[in-house]
Amino acid sequence: MSSTSTTGTTPGDVPAAGRAPARRRPSTARLALARVRLELLTSSRERDAVVFVFAYPVLMMVIFGAVFGDQELPDGTPFARYFLAGIAATAIVLTSFQNLAVTIAREREDGTLKRLRGMPVPVSAYVLGKVGAVLVSSLAQTVLLLAVARLAYDVPLPADAEHWLRFAWVFALGTVAGCVLGIAASALPRSGASANAVITPLVLVLQFVSGVFFVYGSLPEWMRSVAELFPLKWMAQGMRAAFLPESAVAAEPGGSWELGTGALVLAAWALVGLVVCLRTFRWSRRDA
């Protein structure tokens, strides 16, 4: 007698129609979008941090507007308009570089990253999620800053499509560069508690040497040479090219906005930062 059942199938056979469909792993893009939503939701719950992030550039605008409101550049450009560019640039650096470096160091400390490591989330999706969330936050922050500058200090916005395009690429490149560099710099602090002490002084020094608080051309030459090595100087100069009239270019040390050089420097920092953060990213502390 044959061991085959009368139906002509063995017990181990399962009709194709009855098989459960294999579940496909979500793509990196879908995981990154999910991370963006999660990052925005998580950050919105930290109300004190949200208030500081959005209030800081506005507060700086109010301070500089009160102190230098009646002064002008040699070409007649009001100082409030000049400093708007630097404040917009440093706000991006604070939201991207400083915020991410400190936040990720703390997530590494409290075990958040260790828990993520056990989930099917590649490093690239995690990085893209951070970058996407910062882009959204920085855009909202910049819109608020521009609204205050326009309504309270009568600072004109970019006059035409060319100047808006300058603003757009400086904003995008600067934010991406700041994000990947912040993720890379998060490995510098030995603990989450020391993150602010390590990262904040770096940002403060860059603000002073990059012409955020002073007219860039008035800084010593050696200081300008140092600033040219880092992204903030080129972000602030690119923002000046977007917000200031063309007559203001005479106040630049080189007599030019140097937009091509600025784009290359920001793109190079973004690429270097991405390579470094992908190669050196740690899910746990170095001494763990």
Predicted TM-score (pTM) of this structure: 0.84
Residue 75 has pLDDT above 90, yes or no: no
Write down the residue that tokens 């893009």 correspond to: 29
Residue 131: HSE in the Cβ half-sphere, 13 Å Cα cutoff: 25
pLDDT confidence tier of residue 70, bands split at 50, 70 and 90:
confident
pLDDT confidence tier of residue 46, bands split at 50, 70 and 90:
confident
**What are 72's strand-pairing partners?**
78
The domain limits of the chain are 27-280
Share of the chain above pLDDT 70, in %: 90
Mean pLDDT calculated for residue range 38-42: 85
Residue scoring higher pLDDT (239 or 3): 239
Instruction: Give 187-237 pLDDT, tens digit per residue.
Output: 888 888 888 899 999 999 999 999 888 889 889 999 999 999 999 999 999
Could you give the CA distance from residue 189 to residue 179 in angstroms, rounded to a whole number? 17
Maximum average pLDDT range among 24-33, 72-81, 209-218: 209-218
Return the DSSP state at 156: P
Write down the residue that tokens 């020094």 correspond to: 205
- Phi, psi values for residue 78, rounded to 5°: -65, 145
Share of the chain above pLDDT 90, in %: 38
Q: What angle is formed at CA 86 by the lines to CA 84 and CA 89, rounded to 5 degrees?
A: 105
For residue 195, what are the CA distances in angstroms to 70, 102, 176, 199, 281?
A: 39, 5, 21, 6, 16
Return the DSSP state at 78: B
**Terminal Cα distance for the chain, rounded:** 65
pLDDT confidence tier of residue 4, bands split at 50, 70 and 90:
very low
Instruction: Give 92-139 pLDDT, tens digit per residue.
Output: 999 999 999 998 988 888 888 888 777 777 778 888 888 899 999 999
Write down the residue that tokens 């890379």 correspond to: 184
- Length of the chain equals 288
Give the pLDDT of residue 125.
83
Give the pLDDT of residue 3.
46
Computed over every residue of the chain, the mean pLDDT equals 84
pLDDT confidence tier of residue 23, bands split at 50, 70 and 90:
low
Could you give the CA distance from residue 135 to residue 172 in angstroms, rounded to a whole number? 8
Residue 199: HSE in the Cβ half-sphere, 13 Å Cα cutoff: 31
Helix (H) or strand (E) holding 231: helix 231-243
Write down the residue that tokens 């012409």 correspond to: 211
Both structure tokens of 199: 């990262």
Could you give the CA distance from residue 35 to residue 229 in angstroms, rounded to a whole number? 32
